[in-house]
Amino acid sequence: MSEHLIEIKDLAFSYTDRPILKRVNMTMSRGQVIAIMGGSGSGKTTLLRLIGGEVKPSAGHVEVAGQVVHQLSRNELFKLRRKMGMLFQFGALFTDLSVFDNVAFQMREHTNLPESMIRDLVLMKLHAVGLRGASHLMPAELSGGMARRVALARSIALDPLLIMYDEPFTGLDPISLSVIGSLIRRLTDALGMTSIIVTHDVQESLKIVDYVYFLADGAIAAHGTPEEVKGSTMPFVHQFVHGEEDGPVPFHYPAETYRKDLKLEAQFV
């Protein structure tokens, strides 16, 4: 098996004629937390979908644990997916199941473990996210931050090799946000897995990640450790780290010149 959990080689992808990813190369190791950043529509979620085998590349490949994802049979892909936790939009919980049953769900579905062992494992996972005492609650009784912690406990139910988080920090208050950040870090370390975070939250993610990739124009525009990223003078990286509205990532969606648009309007006045 390769020393990297994930190797992405010359990856290209398009939904239609317009290429979304043109040539992406990345490597990710066990125990690492990696952030993927980039402007809106730069293809970050698409990249996660390619890693999870939801869509197939038009060129290049993604290798996870030594297996080329798009070459796997349906069965092999399902098997691999069981080793991947995917928290897209931070995976909604089953609203009619308790916190306990939400976490137990996959264990009951995918293993033959006796109920007594499932009970112990569920409580262990809930303990890891600080919610063992909330096991009897229903999702409607949880705060937003608690619901995410339950989703996190559920995603580690089967001891995955990899967890992918799409915008894990969105809409959280500063305390919950930092709780989720440090949980992602701690669980990654404790379980020896790899975590990939797609996020716009630069400041929070720089506190917990090992490495950052910036996507732009279908390729990796910059990459580095948090220290390298913070010290970068590349205009693109600088714009992200300092949250500037305009720069290499434009504020405006491409449009006709303002003047031309206004003139057109004037014809109707």
Ligand X SMILES: Nc1ncnc2c1ncn2[C@@H]1O[C@H](COP(=O)(O)OP(=O)(O)OP(=O)(O)O)[C@@H](O)[C@H]1O
Name which position in 8, 32, 33, 46 contacts ligand X (CB under 6 A): 46
Provide, rounded to whole angstroms, the least separation between the CB of residue 153 and ligand X: 25
Residues 6+ apart with CB under 8 A from 259: none
Tokens read off for 152: 């996190």
Residue from 6, 20, 202, 229 touching ligand X (CB under 6 A): that is 20
Question: Using the rule CB under 6 A, is 170 a contact of ligand X?
Answer: no
98 binds ligand X (CB under 6 A): no
C-alpha to C-alpha distance for 114 and 116, rounded to whole angstroms: 5
The span from the CA of 213 to the CA of 198, in Å, is 10
Nearer to ligand X, 37 or 150 (CB): 37
Spatial separation of the C-alpha atoms in residues 214 and 228, rounded to whole Å: 13
* Number of residues near ligand X (by CB under 6 A): 11
DSSP state letter for 68 = E
Query: Does 57 interact with ligand X (rule: CB under 6 A)?
Result: no
In 3D, which of 53, 44, 61, 48 has the Cα closest to residue 7? Answer: 61
Please state, as a whole number, how many other Cβ atoms lie within 10 Å of the Cβ of residue 158. Answer: 17
Query: Rounded distance, CA 152 to CA 197, Å?
Result: 13
Identity of the residue, 253 or 258, whose beta carbon is nearer to ligand X in the bound complex: 253
Rounded Cα distance, 48 and 34, in Å = 12
15 binds ligand X (CB under 6 A): yes
Contact status: 56 vs ligand X (CB under 6 A)? no
Q: In this complex, which beta carbon is closest to ligand X, that of residue 47 or of residue 153?
A: 47
Closer residue to ligand X, CB minimum distance, 181 or 218: 218
Closest alpha carbon to 48 in 197, 181, 153, 267? 197
Closest distance to ligand X from the beta carbon of 229 (Å): 18
Give helix 174-191 / helix 115-128 axis angle, nearest 10°.
130
Name which of 43 and 85 has its Cβ closer to ligand X. Answer: 43
Q: Which of 32, 42, 155, 194 binds ligand X (CB under 6 A)?
A: 42
Q: Is 38 in the site for ligand X (CB under 6 A)?
A: yes
**Using rule CB under 6 A, residue 135 touches ligand X:** no
Q: Which of 4, 8, 24, 44 binds ligand X (CB under 6 A)?
A: 44
Closest distance to ligand X from the beta carbon of 41 (Å): 4
> For ligand X, which is the closer residue by CB, 59 or 113?
59
Instruction: Let me know how long the chain is.
Output: 269
Residue 156 interacts with ligand X (CB under 6 A)? no
Query: For residues 15 and 94, which CB has a smaller minimum distance to ligand X in the complex?
Result: 15
State the maximum Cα–Cα separation within the chain, in Å, rounded to a whole number. 75
Q: Which is nearer to ligand X, 43 or 91 (CB)?
A: 43
To the nearest whole angstrom, how small is the minimum distance from the Cβ of residue 81 to ligand X?
A: 19
Instruction: Yes or no: say if 157 and 176 are a contact pair by the CB < 8 Å rule.
Output: no
What's the angle, vertex CA 98, arms to CA 95 and CA 101, rounded to 5? 110
Contacting residues toward ligand X, per CB under 6 A: 15-16, 20, 38, 40-46
